[in-house]
Amino acid sequence: MGKSKTKNQKKSRATANHVAEQNYSAVPHSFVFHRGQIGKNVGQLIQDVRRVMEPFTAESLKVRKRNVLKDFVAIAGPLGVTHFMIFTKTSNTINMRLARLPKGPTLHFRVLKYSLIKDVVSSLKKHRMHEQQFTHHPLLVLNNFGCDGMHIKLMATMFQNMFPSINVHKVNLNNIKRCVLVNYDPDTQEIEFRHYSLKVVPVGMSRGVKKLMQEKFPNMSKFEDISELLMKGANLSESEAEQDGDHNITELPQVYAGRGNMASQQSAVRLTEIGPRMSLQLIKIQEGMGEGNVLYHSIISKTEEEIQEILERKEAQIREKQQRKKKQEKNVAEKKEKLEEHKKKSLQGIKRKLNSDAEEDSEVEDPGLQDGQKAAVESDDEAEYYRQAVGEEPDEGELKRILVFKAALHTVRFCCDKLAYQVFFFFFFFFFSPRPSAAKKRKSSEKPHGLLKKQKFSNSKPRKGAMSPNKSGRGDKSEKGRKTFGGKKWQHGKNTKPEGQAFRTKKFGDRDNKFGGKKKFLGKKNDSTSKSRSQKFKPGFKKQGFKQRKGKG
């Protein structure tokens, strides 16, 4: 387990973090993205430009089709973004807009030619490109931006503000690993954008000594003595080292990373292009975020009168827009006032209606009524309603139920909306609707049971005039081809049983009609014509089973 940090260590760490946050927020940040449809090569160019602007740019910025420019402007403020580089593509050209946030100006460039990082690196024999180079911002070098013209000075200012400024007295040379060159050609009015990798090597020594100073030690297996390497530089080609001159030799003020790079010693600064490469042409400069006046245009030139006319037209449009806005605000205020007035009138009408209903309810009760005396009008109305609905004279309980229902319905009418009123009406109608009295229900329910009790069958002969069931169960209607025996119908030529009896009219143990009568179970002889094959059982068995089941029934 490591040692815990002391109080001074924690304090110094917090101070360093605070300083780093301040320095990080003070430097400019950028967004590099596209608008509209672009091809695969332009998309790769955007990724390469983001590589140039590292580490103070959004490396993996996601752009969707539904995003608009206002979305990027809204998010740029909290993140401290100061510049936009927007790429667009048309059928003929590729354009780049360089905008300063939040109020502009916006520079419109046309991309005449470009080369990607992979194209530049593939053309080199040896390239110097590693991840440590992109941990610090590049060094900006501007060339030929001292020409006359406000648009040139504005371009130079825009490019300078895109990268963090460098204090010459405090800068650490080991942090400078890359260089961005922006060169302006006054003749062609084109801007060359280049990206290089920096390397510093000592000068004033032979090629053999330089070889020894390198990290990779040379192969000396073919040498007899080390002097051959130092003096003759044997086995070394002329192309391995770049010929240095006055154009790239300087005296280092600090110790630079690399063998032999000492302070106050001469060293050569070598540049290796790592891409991307672009040739730009300025088209126009516009105020704001692409919505203001055109300050400069390289193709279209206008006179002072035309410019004045354009300004007057824009001012008129601004005035019309302000007038429309005021009119809309006035209309909104009037609508609000009308709504408030309508609301007040509605509340007053509701109050008046409630008061009138309360007065009507109070007029129903007659203070002159004596104890036990009923209100004639209400009782007559309710009684008439009950007579029409049921068809019978109501009793006191039914009248009270109807009165409670009407009172509740009258209360809910002013407290609920239309839908709630309907639902409440349905439930109250279901629970408080008039129903027949319990005595009448009891009488109606006893009738079928009485009929069932009267329709019991016995072993004796049926009485005359009684309903004789037939096969269809429709009473004693006579049909042709049938005979009656004891009030029951029998078919011709068949020894069958009487049918058409009501369901469950006899008990479970009452089997005398099914087996041909009670005499069969007493052991007496029966007529052979009325005996069926299925009824041949032992006499003792029949007698015992009949007695037991009859006793249960």
119 DSSP 8-state letter: H
Return the ∠ at Cα 476 (arms to 473 and 481), rounded to 5°. Answer: 95
491 DSSP 8-state letter: E
| 57 vs 33: CA distance, rounded Å | 11
Which pLDDT does position 476 carry in this prediction?
46
pTM of the complete model: 0.55
Residue 521: how many CB atoms within 10 A of its CB?
A: 21
What Rg do the C-alpha atoms of the chain give, in angstroms? 56
| 104 vs 444: CA distance, rounded Å | 96
Pairing of strands 178-185, 139-143: parallel
Which pLDDT does position 26 carry in this prediction?
85
Point out which residues pair with 178 in neighbouring strands. 197
Q: Which of 132, 214, 142, 203 is nearest to 174 (CA)?
A: 132
Contacts of 483 (CB under 8 A, 6+ apart): 489, 490, 492
Which pLDDT does position 183 carry in this prediction?
96
- Give me the helix-helix angle, 396-412 and 418-432, nearest 10°: 170
Residue spans of the domains in the chain: they are 20-232+250-282, 304-332
Q: Along the 553 residues of the chain, how does pLDDT read in single tens digits?
A: 456 678 788 888 888 888 878 778 889 999 999 999 999 999 999 999 999 999 999 999 999 989 999 899 999 988 999 999 999 999 999 999 999 998 889 999 999 999 999 999 998 888 788 888 899 999 999 999 988 888 999 999 999 999 998 888 888 888 899 999 999 999 999 999 999 999 888 776 666 566 666 656 666 777 777 666 666 554 444 444 456 666 778 888 888 877 667 787 788 888 899 989 999 999 999 998 878 888 899 988 888 888 888 888 888 999 999 999 999 999 999 999 999 999 998 988 888 888 887 776 555 555 544 455 444 444 456 677 677 777 777 777 777 777 777 777 767 665 655 566 667 667 766 666 655 555 455 555 555 544 444 444 445 455 554 444 444 444 444 444 454 445 444 455 445 444 445 545 455 554 545 454 444 444 444 444 444 444 444 444 444 444 445 444 3
Which pLDDT does position 319 carry in this prediction?
92
Contacts of 526 (CB under 8 A, 6+ apart): 516, 519, 520
State the Cα torsion 386-387-390-392 to the nearest 10°.
120
Contact between 285 and 220 under an 8 Å Cβ cutoff? The reply is no
CATH 3.40.50.10480 fits 20-232+250-282, yes or no: yes
| 252 vs 89: CA distance, rounded Å | 45
| 511 vs 534: CA distance, rounded Å | 14
DSSP conformation letters of 157-205: HHHHHHS----TTT--GGG--EEEEEEEETTTTEEEEEEEEEEEEE-SS
**172: its two tokens:** 């650490």
Contacts of 296 (CB under 8 A, 6+ apart): 150, 151, 154, 282, 284, 285
CA 16 to chain centre: 42
Pairing of strands 106-115, 178-185: unpaired
Which pLDDT does position 316 carry in this prediction?
92
Which pLDDT does position 300 carry in this prediction?
86
Contacts of residues 469-478 at CB distance under 8 Å and 24 or more positions apart, as own/partner, are 469/498, 469/499, 469/500, 469/501, 469/502, 470/499, 470/500, 471/499, 471/500, 472/500, 473/499, 473/500, 473/501, 473/502, 474/500
Point out which residues pair with 441 in neighbouring strands. none
DSSP conformation letters of 39-94: -HHHHHHHHHHHHHHTTSB-TT----TT--HHHHHHHHHHHT--EEEEEEE-SS-E
**449: its two tokens:** 């049971």
Contact between 162 and 28 under an 8 Å Cβ cutoff? The reply is yes
